[in-house]
Structure 1
Amino acid sequence: MDATIIILILIGFLFFSAFNVLREYERGVIFMLGRYWKVKGPGLIIVIPGIQKMVKVSLRTVVMDVPPQDIITRDNVTVKVNAVLYFRVMDPQKAIIEVEDYLYATSQLSQTTLRSILGQSQLDDLLSKRDEINSQLQKVIDEQTEPWGVKVANVEVKNVDLPQEMQRALAKQAEAERERRAKVINAKGEFEAAEKLGQAADT
């Protein structure tokens, strides 16, 4: 009697475990006896225990922070740069089969690409041509994640931390530029004033 109850409980457990509900933004990659079968979802999905296995994949956009990277620019300035990556799975089958962990792989790829692309850039370009660099990063990373079924929509460089001595040098440069502009404005004002005085004397 006890054995019969245990068997019935196991059968009931297996029966109910076969039913899975996937949300609108989820898909299930189904394997049958170890081989890829199909992608299912959303809605109610039946997975036969012991024969089939389902791996869930989210289709929502993932916002991933790229941790700060130490980068030596083309003009030999050491900076610390971080970024943010926006991507989503477009092909659940590839995301599960073609790469072991698409989230980890995308994170590692974004870090190496960030160091590579920014290492080829001048510091001035890194500070003033941010949009161009973001577009280049997005294009390169997206091309490499495409075989994994991952679409990189956007990459944004967030912060560029300069060494203290470089910050002081840039501050001095900015101050010198402000002083130069002030002198130009003053000289222009004096010239216009002298010109008006000359015109008044002529009349």
Structure 2
Amino acid sequence: MEVAVILFVIAVIFVTQSIKVVPQQHAWVVERLGKYNGTLMPGLNFLVPFVDKVAYKHLLKEVPLDIASQVCITRDNTQLQVDGILYFQVTDAMRASYGSSNYIVAISQLAQTSLRSVIGKLELDKTFEERDIINAQVVQAIDEAALNWGVKVLRYEIKDLTPPKEILHAMQQQITAEREKRALIAASEGRRQEQINIATGEREAFIARSEGEKQAVINKAQGDAQSILAVAEATAQAIERIASAIRQPGGAEAVQLKVAEKAVDAYSKVAAEATTTLIVPSNMTEVSALISSAMKMVQVQRA
């Protein structure tokens, strides 16, 4: 009975030593008699009991690594307290096991030294403006060395950049002065634009008034010209009708009668005025002579 129990225990030990189930996104490094033998992939795997053993277990997921805060000195000799975080992933389990005694510590230390080197090449203002460039340069510097450790550095992010209090105060004053300067410039630009708008409006109004006055003068002149032309045309038509009437039978006698009426009417108007001295021709035949002269002129026009 005791032998059976011993055999059962030995069998259980053999099974536990020979059968290994590796979880997803994990890699186990197997050594055979102290030498690297292979890497177990996720799933069911078999080992030789007491000969093979799992020496290292690695997680293949992306791992965030907090980089300790450190003091960095910029190109213009300003101290900065920098805090960051690094993301990496194990890509080669064998190199991660034998390339470095502790690849996590190695990556962390290399990230700090690379960050100091990158920031030391930049001035203070540039460190705030070019954080993406700093992150990319740190990743590039770490990734070149991490290849021998079976690790892929995915990205590095600066969480915080903290300059000394004196620098912060000076930067705040500079920002305030810059904002006040922009406000003054904006106000002056507004006043300038306002004056330009007023001057432009007045100029356009003056042009509009002058154009209106010009058009009014043109319209009046055209109206006067049309009025004069209408009067002239009406006078011409009246003269033509009179001339046509004179050519008719009895027209000459009618003209004589009309002239005589006008003469008599003129004499009567002159006599009616109290302050007018009327001089009557001694020879009344002069009136008939005047009528005869007018009739001759009419006859000449008819001819």
TM-score normalised per structure 2: 0.63
In the alignment, the residues of structure 2 paired with residue 102 and residue 150 of structure 1 have an alpha-carbon distance, to the nearest angstrom, of 8
**1:189 partner letter:** G
Aligned pairs for 1:52-71 (under 5 A) are 52-54=52-54, 55-71=56-72
C-alpha distance 12-200 of structure 1, shift in aligned 2 (>3 A): closer
In the alignment, the residues of structure 2 paired with residue 4 and residue 23 of structure 1 have an alpha-carbon distance, to the nearest angstrom, of 33
- TM superposition shift of 1:135: 0.8
Secondary structure at the counterpart of residue 57 of structure 2: strand
CA RMSD of aligned residues (A): 1.8
**1:193 partner letter:** E
**1:138 partner letter:** V
In the alignment, the residues of structure 2 paired with residue 25 and residue 106 of structure 1 have an alpha-carbon distance, to the nearest angstrom, of 21
- TM superposition shift of 1:131: 1.0
Q: Residues 82-112 of structure 1: CA distance to partner in whole angstroms, max 9, x if unpaired?
A: 1111111111111101111222221222122
Partner of residue 24, structure 1: 24
In the alignment, the residues of structure 1 paired with residue 35 and residue 2 of structure 2 have an alpha-carbon distance, to the nearest angstrom, of 37
Aligned pairs for 1:1-203 (under 5 A) are 2=2, 5-6=5-6, 8-54=8-54, 55-202=56-203, 203=206
In the alignment, the residues of structure 1 paired with residue 85 and residue 104 of structure 2 have an alpha-carbon distance, to the nearest angstrom, of 14
**2:148 partner letter:** P
**2:87 partner letter:** Y
In the alignment, the residues of structure 1 paired with residue 125 and residue 155 of structure 2 have an alpha-carbon distance, to the nearest angstrom, of 22
In the alignment, the residues of structure 2 paired with residue 72 and residue 173 of structure 1 have an alpha-carbon distance, to the nearest angstrom, of 21
In the alignment, the residues of structure 2 paired with residue 45 and residue 104 of structure 1 have an alpha-carbon distance, to the nearest angstrom, of 31
Higher helix share: 2
C-alpha distance 198-6 of structure 1, shift in aligned 2 (>3 A): same
- TM superposition shift of 1:42: 1.1
**2:141 partner letter:** V
In the alignment, the residues of structure 2 paired with residue 184 and residue 76 of structure 1 have an alpha-carbon distance, to the nearest angstrom, of 33
Identical aligned residues as a percent: 33
Q: Residues 48-85 of structure 1: CA distance to partner in whole angstroms, max 9, x if unpaired?
A: 33211212211111111111111111111111101111
Secondary structure at the counterpart of residue 76 of structure 1: coil
In the alignment, the residues of structure 1 paired with residue 193 and residue 13 of structure 2 have an alpha-carbon distance, to the nearest angstrom, of 93
Aligned pair count? 203
Query: In the alignment, is the contact (CA less than 8 A) between 2:17 and 2:50 conserved in 1?
Result: no
Deviates more, 1:6-15 or 1:79-88: 6-15
**1:158 partner letter:** K
Deviates more, 1:1-10 or 1:133-142: 1-10
TM-score normalised per structure 1: 0.92
In the alignment, the residues of structure 1 paired with residue 170 and residue 38 of structure 2 have an alpha-carbon distance, to the nearest angstrom, of 60
Partner of residue 219, structure 2: none
Q: Which runs of 5+ in 2 are unaligned?
A: 207-303
Higher strand share: 1
